[in-house]
Chain A
Amino acid sequence: MMTNPANKPRRHFLGRTGAGTALLALAPGVKLVDLTLAKDEDEPASDETRWGLLVDADRCTTGCRACVSACEEEHALAKTSRTQLDPQWIRKVDLVDESNDRSVSIPLMCQHCEDPPCVEVCPTGASFKRADGMVLVDKHTCIGCRYCMMACPFNARSFVHEEVTGQKSYSPRGKGTVESCTLCVHRVDNDRTPACVESCAVDGHGALTFGDLNDSESTVSKTVRSQPHRELRPDLGLNTGVRYRGV
Chain B
Amino acid sequence: MDKIRYQVLAGTHTGYRLLLWLLIILIGIGLIAAHHMETQGHWVTGMDNRVVWGLPHVFAIFLILSASGALNTASISSVFGRSDYQPLARLSGLLAVTLLTGGLAVLVLDLGRPDRLVVAMTYYNFSSVFAWNVFLYTGFMLVVLIYLWVMMTPQMRGYVRSVGVVALIWRLILTSGTGAIFGFLVARDAYDTAIMVPLFILMSLSLGMAVFWVSTLTMCRWNGYRVAPELSEKLRRLSAVFVLGVLFLMALHHLTNIYMAHHQGIERFLLVDGGVYPWLFWLGFVLCGSIVPVWWFLDRRFCTPAWTVTTALMVIVGGLCHLYVTIIGAQAYPLRLVSGYRVDSGFYDGEITHYLPTLPELALGIGGVSLALLITMLAVRILPFLPTVTRPLPGSNQG
| Contact partner, A155, options B38, B50, B53, Cβ 8 Å | B50
B130 A92 Cβ-Cβ under 8 A? no
Q: Does A232 contact B (CB under 8 A)?
A: yes
Contacts A121-B184, A122-B125 given; does A161 touch B337 at CB 8 Å: no
A95 B42 Cβ-Cβ under 8 A? no
Number of interface residues of A (CB under 8 A): 59
When chains A and B are docked, how far (Å) is the Cα of A97 from the Cα of B344?
12
Q: Give 17 CB contacts A-B under 8 Å.
A: A88-B49, A95-B341, A108-B349, A117-B187, A119-B125, A120-B128, A123-B120, A123-B128, A143-B113, A145-B112, A147-B128, A154-B337, A163-B41, A175-B41, A176-B38, A176-B112, A233-B338
* In the complex, residue of chain A having the shortest beta-carbon distance to the beta carbon of B43: A161
B185 A150 Cβ-Cβ under 8 A? yes
* In the complex, residue of chain A having the shortest beta-carbon distance to the beta carbon of B131: A123
B186 A93 Cβ-Cβ under 8 A? no
* In the complex, residue of chain B having the shortest beta-carbon distance to the beta carbon of A157: B49
Contacts A84-B48, A177-B113, A178-B112 given; does A146 touch B344 at CB 8 Å: no
A98 B48 Cβ-Cβ under 8 A? no
| Contact partner, A85, options B49, B125, B346, Cβ 8 Å | B49
Q: Does B259 contact A (CB under 8 A)?
A: no
Q: Which of A29-37, A75-83, A212-220 contacts B (4 or more CB under 8 A)?
A: A75-83
A153 B186 Cβ-Cβ under 8 A? yes
When chains A and B are docked, how far (Å) is the Cα of A159 from the Cα of B47?
10
When chains A and B are docked, how far (Å) is the Cα of A159 from the Cα of B339?
26
* In the complex, residue of chain A having the shortest beta-carbon distance to the beta carbon of B129: A121
Contacts A85-B43, A93-B344, A161-B41 given; does A235 touch B339 at CB 8 Å: yes
When chains A and B are docked, how far (Å) is the Cα of A126 from the Cα of B40?
23
Chain B residues, Cβ within 8 Å of A117: 185-187
When chains A and B are docked, how far (Å) is the Cα of A163 from the Cα of B112?
12
A159 B50 Cβ-Cβ under 8 A? no
B123 A125 Cβ-Cβ under 8 A? yes
A161 B349 Cβ-Cβ under 8 A? no
* In the complex, residue of chain A having the shortest beta-carbon distance to the beta carbon of B40: A162
* In the complex, residue of chain A having the shortest beta-carbon distance to the beta carbon of B350: A93
Chain A residues, Cβ within 8 Å of B344: 93-96
Q: How far is the CB of A88 from chain B (nearest CB, A)?
A: 5
User: 4 new A-B pairs (CB below 8 Å) besides A95-B343, A141-B123, A155-B337?
Assistant: A84-B50, A108-B345, A150-B52, A232-B337
